[in-house]
Amino acid sequence: MHDRLPGRRPKISEAPGNEGAISRKASTKSRRQPRTGRTADDALIIELGSRVKRLRTQAGLTLEEFAAQSGVSRAMLSKVERGEKSPTLAIIVRIAKGLNVSMSTLMGAEPDPAQVAVIRSANRLAFRDPETGFERHNLSPSHLDNDLEFLLHRIPPGESSGELPPYKVATEKYLVVHEGQLTLQTGDANYVLETGDSFYFDVREPYRFTNAGKTPCAYYLVIRRRRS
């Protein structure tokens, strides 16, 4: 154990705000009322589209190649890149897979080599599915040499993540249900988890998170990507 040198403090970073958050509530409101100008959600969708296009260009992929790698249609990818479409969770997960990046990176997380990182509750990098209200909150910083992610998911009653594909690299997930009931489907197996239950699975097949109950469901999730 090493003593800390007098007068030195560990580098501390403050995590960025919700650059990747897409609000379903705001999106619904904009559909029901006349649009008088560009909303904050519109700006976030455009920013996401620009980031997707930049990452695709850096990867040297055409739209056709990107569609083949992600399993998302060329038309949908084109609309996302132009900021004309707010992608659902299932689509954005496939986009991240096609680009071979984490969803947090796709949503705007920046590498953070600090020894200590403070992530304020109001400034979490978050994503909300515009159709289902499924929420994904990133609770961990994005370190340069760290293959772990700590997340909070929230699912409204009767909603689901949709089918999510396995990763390109070996990936494990650990979760604990904070409130409500969660049904987890992996392959052909279904597991019903109650508040306080924990679960581990090695992601090798398509999977799905569902809240079949009548109350909101929230669970904490740790993702570990194995390098070898």
Residue 32 has a pLDDT of 38
Spatial CB neighbours of 100, under 8 Å, sequence gap ≥ 6: 59, 168
Q: Comparing 20-30+39-106 with 147-225, is the CATH topology the same?
A: no
Q: What's phi and psi for 46, nearest 5 deg?
A: -65, -40
Q: Could you tell me which of 3, 18, 8, 80 has the C-alpha nearest to residue 49? A: 80
pLDDT digits (tens, 9 = 90+) for 64-78: 999 999 999 999 999
Q: Could you tell me which of 44, 30, 71, 60 has the C-alpha nearest to residue 165? A: 71
Distances (CA, A) of 147 to 57, 68, 107, 171, 178: 24, 26, 17, 10, 24
Residue 81 has a pLDDT of 95
Indicate the domain borders of the chain. Answer: 20-30+39-106, 147-225
With a cut of 80, say whether residue 5 has pLDDT above it: no
Q: Name the CATH superfamily for 147-225.
A: Jelly Rolls (2.60.120.10)
Report the CATH number of the 20-30+39-106 domain.
1.10.260.40
With a cut of 80, say whether residue 181 has pLDDT above it: yes
State the pTM of this model: 0.76
Residue 13 has a pLDDT of 57
Percentage of the chain with pLDDT > 90?
61
